[in-house]
Amino acid sequence: MKVNVNSFSEKFQVAMGKFSTNIIVMTIANGMIKLLPITMVGSICAILSNLGIPGYQDFIDSAGITPIIKLGTTMTTNLISVYVLVSLSIEMAKMLKSDTISAVLISFMSFFIVTPLGSFDIKDGKVSAFDISYLGSKGMFVAMIVALLCTYSYYFLTKKKITIKLPDNVPPTVATSFAALLPAMIIGAVTILIAGFISFTSASQPFSSPDFRPFASSLISRMVACVFSKSFMSKMVYLPRSWSEKRVRLLFHHSIHYCHSVSQKLV
């Protein structure tokens, strides 16, 4: 059986080209890369507060510098979900040529609706507040989904003219605010219904983290890791035209071992 390497390579390039130009993929890629300054500040502060050098560590602890340094980590990486929400909303709104401020505000509203409130004991009684862990890495996946869905929903509703249209002599700022009124009410109502429904399920809230370890050791995960691995993709996309069937089979044989090693790291 002969393998048409050229045909497979061309089809693979077309498929990956469509995948890479998908608006969701582009939004996540561009939005996440813009978070690099935030994550770098948090990482540097985390390193400076935990160098492990006895003399240095004793000095910053005794001088009260440690809490100040950790503040950089708390306000950056420990609130990464908030930054992800803003970055992805802005990126998608720009790609869709929608109102950026309205999209970000609606995404903020929806994210806080689905974020559970906790009850905390203080000196004078109890207060309701957000648990900061839900605003960190624990809520990042939820923030990504909320940003993408809410921003696109706002774009879709405004495109379908489901807005309040004001006369042309109204100032643009006022007109923009009223234009976002109906979409915000619709998206907010749907988000409240979803949050209410989830609160009555066994998951109790959308921040419950499922166990992906069984999936990581499955054949499907190995195939996914193989396809999305940059090194393997580069081998598949740029296959030389002179390659024989034997060399193609050898490449796939090595790729199976590569996928197995990647999946073992995921477990």
* pLDDT score recorded for residue 178: 86
**Separation CA 229–CA 252 (nearest Å):** 14
Tell me: the pLDDT tens digits for 164-174?
888 878 887 88
Residue 215 binned pLDDT confidence (cut-offs 50, 70, 90): low
225 pLDDT higher than 70: no
Helical spans, DSSP H, in the chain: 5-20, 23-33, 36-49, 54-62, 66-74, 80-96, 100-114, 140-159, 172-179, 181-199, 213-216, 219-228, 230-237, 245-266
Centre a 10 Å sphere on the Cβ of residue 78 and count the other Cβ atoms it contains.
20
Mean pLDDT for 218-236 is: 49
232 DSSP β-pair partners:
none
- Of 251 and 170, the structure prediction assigns the larger pLDDT to 170
Q: Which two tokens stand for residue 72?
A: 């950089």
Which percentage of the chain shows pLDDT scores above 70? 70
Higher pLDDT, 245 or 21: 21
pLDDT digits (tens, 9 = 90+) for 83-132: 999 999 999 999 999 999 999 999 999 999 999 888 888 877 888 888 88
Give the Cα separation of 166 and 80 in Å (integer).
38
Amino acid at position 200, single letter: F
Under a CB-based contact definition with an 8 Å cutoff, are residues 93 and 153 in contact? no
Residue 234's pLDDT is what?
43
Pick the more confident residue, 153 or 6.
153
Mean pLDDT of the chain: 78
Residue of 41, 139, 129, 150 whose CA lies nearest to 84: 139
Residue 53 or 153, more confident: 153
Give the Å distances, CA to CA, from 109 to 143, 175, 196, 220.
11, 20, 15, 36
Query: CB neighbours of 183 closer than 8 A, spacing ≥ 6?
Result: 102, 106, 153, 154, 157, 158, 162, 163
Looking at residue 257, its pLDDT comes to: 57
Residue type at 103 in one-letter notation = A
Residues 27-79: tens digit of each pLDDT: 998 999 999 999 999 999 999 988 878 888 888 988 989 999 999 999 999 99
Model confidence at 149: pLDDT above 50: yes
